[in-house]
């Protein structure tokens, strides 16, 4: 039997409106839309943004930090850069008082006055994986990372011409390196890091230590400063590029300025994610 906590009087929250409430020590965003109340965690699953501070449009709340949208009825993540639902909670209204009981999690517990919907029905099918379904982390990531699905270097569709392209001095071209980097995929989105717009620059120079080979410096960003896939993406990037015979060393420099935005994605990435 769920334990309900009294959180507000109906008259305290406009329609449409939103307010922050506390339930058993958890901070919950409470919404009032078209006569019904909805409650979800006040936490954006992209990078912890406070959802209640965002713009409410119909049943969608936009995270004020990077713009991810969530369905207030279910907690479903509706748009990038969030791909996981935030928890939704049970809500009841009795005698002009709103009560909330913490749900069992992951947007799967719509409240009794909700219009129930499965969060996965809102997600493009290729983004519906969760970290809990994934199995491995990068072996050589520089900092700890949660268990995430490995990307698959060496298997993606690399253009043969770009793969082997060199400039007049016989140095692999930047285009070639970018083609190699398309083998590195975000473990949750399954989109390669080039099409996601994470690669800001590629610089090649002759290796001082290995004659005939080259040093590659890659300026790379993340979708957020605390991106959980970051260590794995860095490790996969190094492994993928350094596996080429012509490469002696790979340096990955993380650049957070300018910050990544969804505008940096290619049309191919948008198509793959179902974003129009
Ligand atoms: S923290 Fe919410 S979109 Fe980034």
Ligand 1 centroid, distance to 233 Cα (angstroms): 19
69-88 burial code (b ≥16 CB/10 A, e <16): bbbbbbbbbbbbbbbbbbbb
Q: Do 24 and 93 lie in a common domain?
A: yes
**CB-ligand 1 contact for 65 (6 Å cutoff):** yes
Q: Do 93 and 9 lie in a common domain?
A: yes
Residue 166: its pLDDT value, please? Answer: 61
Last residue of a domain, one of 123, 150, 171: 123
**CB-ligand 1 contact for 81 (6 Å cutoff):** yes
pLDDT over 90 at 103, yes or no: no
Residue 189: its pLDDT value, please? Answer: 80
Residue 161: its pLDDT value, please? Answer: 54
Mean pLDDT in residue range 190-208: 93
Which atom of ligand 1 sits closest to the CA of residue 66? 3
Residue 81: its pLDDT value, please? Answer: 80
Last residue of a domain, one of 123, 140, 158: 123
> What is the percent of the chain with per-residue pLDDT over 70, rounded to a whole number?
75
**Residues shown for the chain:** 276
Beta bridge partners of 148: 136
pLDDT over 50 at 114, yes or no: no
Coil, strand or helix: which one is 199?
strand
**CB-ligand 1 contact for 69 (6 Å cutoff):** no
- Which of 21-35, 77-91, 141-155, 182-196 is predicted with the least confidence, judged by mean pLDDT? 141-155
Mean pLDDT in residue range 185-203: 92
pLDDT over 60 at 137, yes or no: no
Query: Token digits for 42?
Result: 């006040």
Residue 149: its pLDDT value, please? Answer: 34
Of the spans 47-51, 57-61, 107-111, 129-133, which averages the highest pLDDT?
A: 57-61
pLDDT over 90 at 274, yes or no: no
pLDDT over 70 at 54, yes or no: yes
For the chain, the domain total comes to 2
Q: Do 9 and 44 lie in a common domain?
A: yes
Residue 83: its pLDDT value, please? Answer: 81
Q: What residues make up the domain containing 40?
A: 5-123
Which atom of ligand 1 sits closest to the CA of residue 51? 2
Q: Do 81 and 161 lie in a common domain?
A: no
Greater model confidence, 80 or 185? 185
Cα 1–Cα 71–Cα 30 angle in degrees, nearest 5: 55
List all residues 6 or more positions away from 155 whose beta carbon is below 8 Å from its beta carbon: 183
Last residue of a domain, one of 67, 89, 123: 123
pLDDT in tens, 214-244: 999 999 999 877 777 888 999 999 999 999 9
Residue 224: its pLDDT value, please? Answer: 79
Q: Do 39 and 115 lie in a common domain?
A: yes
Ligand 1 centroid, distance to 222 Cα (angstroms): 12
For the beta carbon of residue 199, count every other beta carbon within 10 angstroms: 23
**CB-ligand 1 contact for 47 (6 Å cutoff):** yes
Mean pLDDT in residue range 138-142: 31
Q: Do 45 and 175 lie in a common domain?
A: no
Mean pLDDT, all residues of the chain: 78
Coil, strand or helix: which one is 42?
coil
pLDDT over 70 at 276, yes or no: no
> What is the percent of the chain with per-residue pLDDT over 90, rounded to a whole number?
51
What does the alpha-carbon distance between residue 193 and residue 232 come to, in Å, rounded to a whole number?
A: 12
Which atom of ligand 1 sits closest to the CA of residue 67? 3
Contact status, residue 17 vs residue 43, Cβ threshold 8 Å: no
* H or E element that contains 160: helix 160-164
Residue 164: its pLDDT value, please? Answer: 53
Domain of 85, CATH number, reads: 2.102.10.10
Which of 42, 53, 60, 66 most suits a substitution to test ligand 1, by most atoms within 8 Å of the C-beta? 66
Q: Label residue 261 by pLDDT band (50, 70, 90).
A: confident
Which atom of ligand 1 sits closest to the CA of residue 48? 1
Which among 85, 92, 81 is positioned nearest to 107, based on CA atoms?
85
Residue 151: its pLDDT value, please? Answer: 36
């Amino acid at each position: 039997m769920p334990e309900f906590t009294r959180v507000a009087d109906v008259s305290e929250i406009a329609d449409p409106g939103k307010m922050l409430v506390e339930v058993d020590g958890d901070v919950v965003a409470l919404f009032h839309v078209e006569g019904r109340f909805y409650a979800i965690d006040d936490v954006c699953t992209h990078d912890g943004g406070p959802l209640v501070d965002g713009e409410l449009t119909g049943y969608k709340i936009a995270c004020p930090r990077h713009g991810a949208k969530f369905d207030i009825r279910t907690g479903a993540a509706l748009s990038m850069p969030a791909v996981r639902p935030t928890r939704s909670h049970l809500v009841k209204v009795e005698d002009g008082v709103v009560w909330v009981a913490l749900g069992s999690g992951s947007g799967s517990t719509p409240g009794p006055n909700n219009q129930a919907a499965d969060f996965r029905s809102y997600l493009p099918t290729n983004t519906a994986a969760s970290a809990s379904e994934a199995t491995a982390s990068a072996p050589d990531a520089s900092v700890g990372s949660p268990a995430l699905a490995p990307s698959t270097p060496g298997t993606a569709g690399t253009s043969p011409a770009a793969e082997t392209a060199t400039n007049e001095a016989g140095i692999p071209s930047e285009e070639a390196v970018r083609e190699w980097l398309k083998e590195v995929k975000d473990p949750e989105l399954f989109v390669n890091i080039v099409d996601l717009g994470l690669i800001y620059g590629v610089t090649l120079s002759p290796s001082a230590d290995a004659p005939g080979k080259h040093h590659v410096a890659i300026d790379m960003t993340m979708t957020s400063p605390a991106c959980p896939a970051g260590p794995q993406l860095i490790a996969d990037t190094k492994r993928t590029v350094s596996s080429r015979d012509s490469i002696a060393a790979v340096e990955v420099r993380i650049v957070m300025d300018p910050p990544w935005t969804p505008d940096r994605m290619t049309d191919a990435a948008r198509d793959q994610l179902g974003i129009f």
